Amino acid sequence: MEDTNLTPTEKGIIIGLSSLSVNNSFNIGLNKSQISKSLNISRNSYLKYEKSLIEKGYITPLSEDITNSRHEDFSQGIVLKCSWLGTKELNKKVHESTHNNVNSQELE
């Protein structure tokens, strides 16, 4: 994890967030209070790091993640976007799945 764009604390937050993801999907459907409680940090500290990680592109609000088929169902929650966590492979699978689904619908 030699990502120089992140502070050691931000890296720790990301690792903690990855442990909260659902079925290795990189989706965390918890609200900010639930996340901060799970990470055992204050809500204000979490909000500071969440803002920084969103600005740096390492997390995205779940409601804005169009790669997630249920993104419109969530007003809260986040998606991890860290290549060193494997999200590149996840995004590739989602793209292929979406592309294949569009092609199969065109054939009908």
Give the tens place of pLDDT for each residue, 14-48. 989 988 887 767 788 888 999 999 999 999 999 99
The reply to whether 3 falls in a domain is no
Q: Decide if pLDDT at 101 tops 50.
A: no
Choose among 53, 43, 42, 40: nearest CA to 11: 53
Domain at 51, CATH number: 1.10.10.10
Q: Specify the number of domains making up the chain.
A: 1
Q: How far apart are CA 77 and CA 98, in angstroms?
A: 22
The reply to whether 65 falls in a domain is yes
The reply to whether 61 falls in a domain is yes
Q: DSSP string covering 33-97, please?
A: HHHHHHHTS-HHHHHHHHHHHHHTTSEEEGGG-TTSTTGGG-SS-EEE--GGGTHHHHHHHHHHH
- Domain containing residue 80: 8-107
Tokens linked to 81: 């976007």
Give the tens place of pLDDT for each residue, 54-79. 999 888 887 777 666 665 666 678 88
The reply to whether 51 falls in a domain is yes
- Name residue 53's amino acid: L
Give the whole-number percent of the chain exceeding pLDDT 90: 33
The reply to whether 1 falls in a domain is no
pTM of the shown model: 0.71
